Each structure stands twice: as structure tokens, then as C-alpha cells.
Amino acid sequence: MKEAERLNITKSRELFEEATGLVPGGVLGARKPTDFIEGEYPIFLETGKGCRLTDVDGNEFIDFLCGYGPIILGYREEEVDEAVYKQIREKGFCFTLTQKYQNLLAKRLTELVPSSELSIFLKTGSDATTASLRIARAHTDKLKVMRCGYHGWHDWCVEMKGGIPSKLYEDVFEFHYNNLDQLRELMAIHGAETAAIVMTPFGHPNHEKMQIPAPGFLEGVKEIAHRYGAVLIYDEIRTCFRLSMGGAQKLYGVTPDLTVLGKALANGYPISVVTGKKDVMTAAANKLFISSTFFPNSDAFIAALKTLEILERENVLGNIWDKGERFMKKIQAVIDKHDVGAELTGVAPMFYITFRKDETGSYKSKRTDFYTQLIRKRFFFSPFHHAYISFRHTEDDLDLTLNAIDESLAFIKEKYEKRL
């Protein structure tokens, strides 16, 4: 199998070189070249439409990162954007006081999300997860937190500890998804002082295979939380309005006390939510302070209301599940055909192709080769993050992608068989 030709990313590299003198590291967070494959992936994008992206060098890609999750419909979704433009033109969106759209969106959430009784609106997932802990601690008058999953960049949860005093995270303890015994052991020690258990109800750890809940796992976590008087928080930033309209809690039938929402809620406009049971959420009204100049801006409320309308009207999640399940079955057949250690995990709306770990570490080079071939063929995946399917991915787009996956795995099989 012939190796795919390298992309021309000259302008991306030039912009990145310029950026290193303007921005620490050139670009921040998960957009760094080292979070993809250096020298292979574009660094700067120019446009997006539907499920396609174009970089500054003119390379067009079928995209499966969807802005790291917010794009549930498609890039530049005209109906959503027009609703926002209309709001800006006719009424404005940033005021000293709040507009009525806060109430309209809060009402919609109570109709959709099982745990939702009261809501507060913020801008980012990290804002919301951190606010949820503040609410839980104020409600319980306890300090410690048990956590499972990625919850943002704030002091209590970020993995890179540079610039963070240890006292800001020393009361936060990690347990692993589907490991109920580990949580039991932690709570046997810290349970009396635990304010919250915060977790992703669907397992999507960074750089690792995705996991669905084992039988009894979510139920067991909820029982443990309530036995010790802790608040159970679901981080549904990625899963709500993608796995189902009511999130993973609706899909799996286990309702938490608080839920954190964001990403797909507004198809790319910045909004996040802490929503939950009235008795817990009331702490946000009288025991603590949460505020920002931009939290009540109505542009994102309008985008969210319109996105929810489209999701329901067009049965978007049904569409994504149907085509995603067919796509995953075809991917698995291709993986089985080539037998190079590739593994497919996840569910139809969000999936991940990883490589089985081995003692030699060859899985790392296979991963690099595989995702290098895909990006050169103009399919935008991340080697270290799961993929998403959007409403605007067509069957033709998925067939083209399947062919690229097939060719990329064939390339790996041929390359690594020659080494034996």
C-alpha cells in the first residue's frame, strides 16, 4: 500500500512561527502541534461548513473532531446563526441585566434533562464543573471530592500542576471508571467529609479506550454517594444532547443530583450550565457567589434554543445513532480484516480508534502512522481524542472515511509485516 503524500502546510507553519512570538507556545491547550502529529497536521484553520474544514493552506478535510464536541449540527449552521444575527441586530445581547431567554432555556432543560429543576448559566465546561463543586460544598458544608474523568483546566482538576499550590487539590481524590471497589475504598476513608462525587457517566478518558457503564456501576456510585450524604454530579459536557436529548443519565436511567452541560447545547456558541435538584441548587442563591460580565449574554441562549429546536424537529440524534452504528460496524469489519492491533470503542455518536498496548511500544508508532495517513488523506481525527459524528456527515462522507481507514490500516499491516 502506497504511503499518502504529505500535505502542504507551509502557511500554517509560518503563522505558528509568528505566533510563538505573540502567544506563549504559539497556541494554547489541546490545539498545540504536539497534541496531534507535529509536521503533519495543520495548525491554523480558515473556514468550516457542514462537516468540512479548510486550513490556511487550502487543504479541505472531512472533520471528526467537531470543535472538540460543540458542533452537533454542522459548521456555520445557517438557521442557528441567523437566529443569533437577528437577536444582535434587533435587540442586542450584552446588558447590565438579564434578558428573558434565560428563563426560556431553563424551562427547556427541565423538560429534557431528568435531573434539571433549577439552572445557572455560564460559558465553559471548566466554569460549570468548578461551580458545581462550589454548590455541592456549600450545600453539604463538606470539603472533599471524589472525581472520575476529565473535568477541565481549573486548579482542582487539571492534570498539569504547574502554578497550582497543592493545597488547592489535596482534597480531591481520583477513582477510575467502572471501578466501584476503588470508590468504596476511598469513601470508607473520606466519606464523612465528602461533599461530592463528580464523574462522567460515560467513560471517555483522555488518550484511552472509551467505556460504557458496567452493569450496576452507575447505580452503585449513586448509592455510595447518598449513603455518605454526598452530592452526585454528572459531567455531561460531552454527552448531553449527543448520546440523548436527556444525556447519558436518560440513556442509562440513573439520575444524579447535579448535572453539568455544555458543548453540543448551542452548536458552537459559548454556553455551559449547572442544573439539578432544587434542594441542592438553592445553595447558589444564598450561600455562594457566581458571576461574570458575560454569563447572561443572550447570543448563546438564542443559539441554544434554536439548536434544541432543530435537534428535536429533525430527529438529529436518531440520525446520528443510525448512521453511526452502521459506520462503526463497517469500521470493526475493516479492523478485523487487517489485524494490526487496532481497537474500536465508544458508541455511535462518539467513538475512538486506538491501538492495543504491547511491551515493545510499537502501538505508539502504529498510532502515529495511522493518524498520519488519515490526515494526509484529508480526514481530520486526533490521535489522542475520540471522534464525533455530526448531523451533516452524510453516508457518502462516511463511506469515503471508511475507505481511508481501510487503506491506512492496510498501509500499517504491510509496513509492520516487513519489519518481522
Q: For the chain, where do the domains classified as CATH 3.90.1150.10 start and end?
A: 10-75+316-419
Q: What is the pLDDT at residue 361?
A: 83
What is the per-residue burial (b if ≥16 Cβ within 10 Å, else e) of 15-35?
A: bbeeeeeeeeebbeeeeebee
Q: What is the CATH number of domain 78-313?
A: 3.40.640.10
Strands 194-199 and 144-148: parallel
Separation of alpha carbons 119 and 3, rounded Å = 52
Among 218, 251, 215, 217, CA closest to 233:
218
Indicate yes or no: pTM above 0.95: yes
Check residue 294 and report its DSSP letter: S
CATH number for 10-75+316-419: choose from 3.40.50.920, 3.40.50.300, 3.90.1150.10, 3.30.420.10.
Answer: 3.90.1150.10
**Residue 138: CB atoms within 10 Å:** 17
Q: What is the pLDDT at residue 207?
A: 84
Among 249, 244, 246, CA closest to 349:
244
Strands 60-63 and 52-55: antiparallel
Backbone angles phi, psi at 123, to 5 degrees: -115, -40
Separation of alpha carbons 408 and 128, rounded Å = 39
Averaged pLDDT, groups of 10, the chain, 420 residues long = 93 98 95 96 98 98 98 98 98 97 98 98 97 98 97 92 94 98 98 98 92 98 98 98 98 98 98 98 94 96 98 98 98 97 98 93 94 98 97 98 98 84
CA distances from 38 to 41, 272, 371 (A): 7, 32, 12
Q: For the chain, where do the domains classified as CATH 3.40.640.10 start and end?
A: 78-313
Alpha helix (H) residue ranges in 97-246: 101-112, 125-140, 180-190, 217-227
Q: What is the pLDDT at residue 418?
A: 73
Q: What is the pLDDT at residue 341?
A: 95
CA distances from 266 to 146, 241, 272, 306, 388 (A): 29, 10, 9, 8, 16
Through-space distance between the first and last CA atoms of the chain, rounded to whole angstroms: 17
